[in-house]
Amino acid sequence: MKEVAVEEPSAGVQEVLVPERVVNGLPTMYCFETCPFCFKVKALLGSRGIEYSKVEVDPTFKTQLKWSDWGKVPVFIDIDGTQVNDSNYILHYIDSKDSGSFPRMGEDPEQDRWMDFSNNVLGKSIVAVIYTSYGTSLRALDYVTKVDNFSFRSRLINKWLGAFIMRMVGKSRAKMFDLPPRENFQYQLDEMSKGIDGDFFGEEGPNGADYANFGILRSMQGLNGFDIVESHHVVSGWYSRMQEHSGVY
């Protein structure tokens, strides 16, 4: 039998340029308004004062992203059409093109560790706590579908279907941790605080780990469990510093 090589969509900078996906001649981010991974990128762009276009993707149908093999948001397109997939890679790409003020992947094990933590631990912990019951899931999706700019029909579908799906995801995320969702979230914030060295993970100024973890937490502002962030003795101060730094309040 003949082997057919199937190109898997990959994280990071893509070889094929897609200049037709650039909107208004500005760096363009394909995102969901409330997506945690997208908030990472918004925070970095905000802190560097980089003007950009945003294309809001419909979370259920993902119509605006059909052209891309990589089916997740954020996707970042630079003005020359360079496509970068996956939030942590996007943070590195933007910083490398801008001031290069934090280390690249592989150069600083601590930064890498806490950037991985944002996806593998913190992102999953917030899902378990936000979507801890059908009630909290519906409230979250009610908020998400109001903030997102959808048609009435797609808003209804996203809200009810989304709440159901996210409740299921919340359950499965909760199973990944030994502690119940609230206790686990508190514990993970305690763990995360150990990486905050002075004002930021990057000591005097934010590095990739600051943007990565701030983005995740920013996406749950106002939702179930955010009180744990607000009352945390280390994380609450750091969170306010990141808001000020990035202009993402």
Ligand X SMILES: N[C@@H](CCC(=O)N[C@@H](CS)C(=O)NCC(=O)O)C(=O)O
Pairing of strands 53-56, 28-31: parallel
Position 130 contacts ligand X (CB under 6 A): no
How many of the chain's residues bind ligand X (CB under 6 A)?
12
The answer to whether 163 and 140 have CB atoms below 8 angstroms apart is yes
Q: How many Cα atoms within 13 Å fall on the side-chain side of residue 6?
A: 3
> For ligand X, which is the closer residue by CB, 60 or 193?
60
Closer of 74 and 232 to ligand X (Cβ): 74
Q: How far is the CB of 177 from ligand X (least distance, A)?
A: 18
SS3 of residue 122 by DSSP: helix
* DSSP classification of residue 118: I
Choosing from 28, 119, 207, 213, the residue that interacts with ligand X (CB under 6 A) is 119
In Å, what is the CA distance from 150 to each residue of 37, 62, 139, 198? 20, 12, 17, 41
122 binds ligand X (CB under 6 A): no
**33-92 binders of ligand X (CB under 6 A):** 35-37, 71-74, 86-88
32 binds ligand X (CB under 6 A): yes
SS3 3: coil
Residues at the interface with ligand X (CB under 6 A): 32, 35-37, 71-74, 86-88, 119
